[in-house]
Amino acid sequence: MITEAPVEASPSISVDPQWRPLVLLGAGAAMFVLIMIPIQALVFILSPPPQTVLAYFDLFQRNPLLGVLDLDLLLTIDYLAMVPFYLALFAVIRRASVTSALLATVFGLFSVVLFLVSREATFSMWLLSGQHGSATTAAEQAALVASGQTLLTLYNGGTFGLSYLLGALSTLIFSVAMIRHRVFGLLPGTVGVITGLTMVVPANLGQTGLVIAMLSLIPTALWLALLSRAFLRTAKANTPGHGPGHP
């Protein structure tokens, strides 16, 4: 049976020196996602996503870049950046609670994988749009519209919802472990719990889900900012000349 030793309350926690590059990478990933949040919100406000397959086809034919942006290109990049972020959290929290760190990391990485699977439409819709524009018969056009509808169903379907819930669960487990073991102090864990709770309602759950998803960006941004700073502080504490007994 795995036993977990209590960790002394502290605003930071030490990590093995070999984990330091990963912790620094996690700090950079958190800051990157933080910067991307207002950019994605601006794209959503200025160009609300179309509601039908034909509207997407028309958008791609007029402005392919805006088409892939409306189909979550930036959010896909964000999810990829979350991989080193989750691994950095594992590197830090495993010393306080290896069980929580491992479970949260697995849930987080599965969340990334499922999200990427659900975003097949991001580029495939662009391809279908071009084929629809060059189709010569009504039957060909109808088949392409049906393929596009399948992509949009996957885009807004259960795979994405499960990805969202796994991300929420990962955030909650990491954050509860931070609070319980005073990793990085009390504030990051508390904000993380709030973030995780706002993510329990998937963004694809109608208008309610969309509103809650937009509101969740506020604690998410704060959580990322706090953890990016905490990662940098932890990495610095493990740099030669900055350990215990050093100025």
Is residue 107 within 8 A of residue 163, CB to CB? The reply is no
pLDDT of residue 246: 41
pLDDT of residue 9: 38
Residues 107 and 93: their CA atoms lie apart, in Å, by: 15
pLDDT of residue 239: 56
Angle between the 53-62 and 121-134 helix axes, to the nearest 10 degrees? 80
Residues whose CB is less than 8 angstroms from the CB of residue 35 and which lie 6 or more positions away in sequence, other chains included: none
pLDDT of residue 8: 38
pLDDT per 10-residue tile (average), the chain, 247 residues = 40 72 95 94 88 92 93 93 96 92 97 94 92 88 93 89 94 95 91 93 78 88 95 77 42
Angle between the 20-46 and 206-237 helix axes, to the nearest 10 degrees? 150
∠ CA 69-172-81, rounded to 5°: 35
pLDDT of residue 111: 96
Burial class (CB in 10 A: 0-12, 13-18, 19+), 6: exposed
- pTM for this one? 0.85
pLDDT of residue 15: 75
pLDDT of residue 1: 40
Closest among 33, 61, 50 to 149, alpha carbons compared: 50
Is residue 12 within 8 A of residue 74, CB to CB? The reply is no
Burial class (CB in 10 A: 0-12, 13-18, 19+), 154: middle
In order, the DSSP letters of 61-103 are: HH-HHHHHHHTTHHHHHHHHHHHHHHHHHHHHHTTT-HHHHHH
